[in-house]
Structure 1
Amino acid sequence: MNRLFLVASIILTVSSFATAAIPRAYRVDSNGKSLDPVERSLCGVNDMTPMISEPVKMQEMGTPIGIYEATIDGSTGYCTGTLITKDLFLTAQHCAAKCEDINVTFGFLKEGRSEKFSCKEIIETGDSSYENDFFIIKLAGSPGVSWGWYDVSEKPVPPNSPLLMIHHPQATPMKVSQKNCILLEEKDNFLMHRCDTQPGSSGSAILLPNYENPTETRVVGVHTLGGCDDTASTSNSGPSMHHLVTISPTLKSLAK
């Protein structure tokens, strides 16, 4: 089984997101205090659950998911990301930093349980537009050998498909967004979804899950933008893999 957050300006190119907050990593100071307002991106009731309370099979599905940490100008930024090969790690471009300032930790389900890997090389960086908000780095030590990875899929995802997001909101231990986590539609190269997120969830893989055969679970997008609230028509979103493979040679070469 393939078992399996720094501030950056983003140029507003998609009118659909004119009211969305500029995406950024979740930043904290040297005392761990948040430097930015915590903006709500919950789709009504908070349906996120702690991974540590999930069955073993779900915990295994979370092993390729890492908490991304980078230090710059005296503050620390956090995002989430996913292994897509034994050493390539996919997150959001608005989380990007110098390679020497980046570390990724896997297995952060509770305090004291984790394994950290450093950045070895920056492979690809998006162009700072909303729809191209992706960042791929190579990690030292091939963590995927132990932690696994998820393949990426370039296939379009039908509306109303159940999705799965595994992430580290506000740099906390791993959470699962599964209940009421669905795709509304793919629009203007974005997956518009109703999966609960918070700052720190940026860069999370939007997964099309296969619970019977987790090896068939695929990365179909990258979560980058909030916007969800109690209103059923609102959504969180991120660029679809269906789009990203058209601009990323790396992702195109890996797509199934």
Structure 2
Amino acid sequence: MLETSTLPQWLIALLGEKFFNACIIHEDAKKNEKNVFCLDCCEGICPHCLSVHASHRLLQIRRYVYHDVIRLDDAEKLMDCGLVQSYITNGAKVVFLNQRPQTRPSRFSGNTCMICDKGLQEPYIFCSLSCKLQYILGTGGKLSKYVYECVNITFPEPGFDDGQMTPETVLEPVASIRTESGSSGSVGNGGGASCRTLACTATTEIVRKKRSTISASFRPVCGPVLEISNRRKGTPQRSPLY
């Protein structure tokens, strides 16, 4: 468990906030998930809260494999992210805020996280910002060397894909992602397009087989049909007149 007594208040709040839950203030509004963190107020906010926090420093929270992540560029303004595994999604590098629960022992042959044994790629040894902080505190490291003073920093304004309330970085669910990749890999259109292509091919093949089966079941017998169609009509016979 991460010891929070020596961490700055904004960092404690960032790592402890439950993002993508409904905003209590705008509970009845649509698209009210908390996906922005206000560094000045030390709290998560939803898109409807942006007007109140317009002059504050806002950090956009993103979603990757059902866990909270932030852009690596943003994270590096807050702390030293060296040796923390990064991932690429939607063209941007991201890092996990907290460690992910592991339901079974890792069989990964490469590097593993120093805290939670999560499988990692070379040369990374931490799976999340929380794990690195926990390691620093556990080994007696000086936290001030790794966590920066949160002053005079700016972040890109939170973006929305329809110009209103839809976050542009709500990521796709696990089912549409190929695999977890390191900083050299990418997730998104490539894997999704491949899966959709395979699905369409399989569906087309199934439909073709069903149609051929139905055609075979109801195919008319050629012999009698040809015999009937070629038989010439005889001379009509009238009934006798009385």
TM-score between both structures, scaled by the size of structure 1: 0.25
Q: Which structure has the highest strand share of the two?
A: 1
Q: Which is richer in helix?
A: 2
Q: Which has the larger Rg?
A: 2
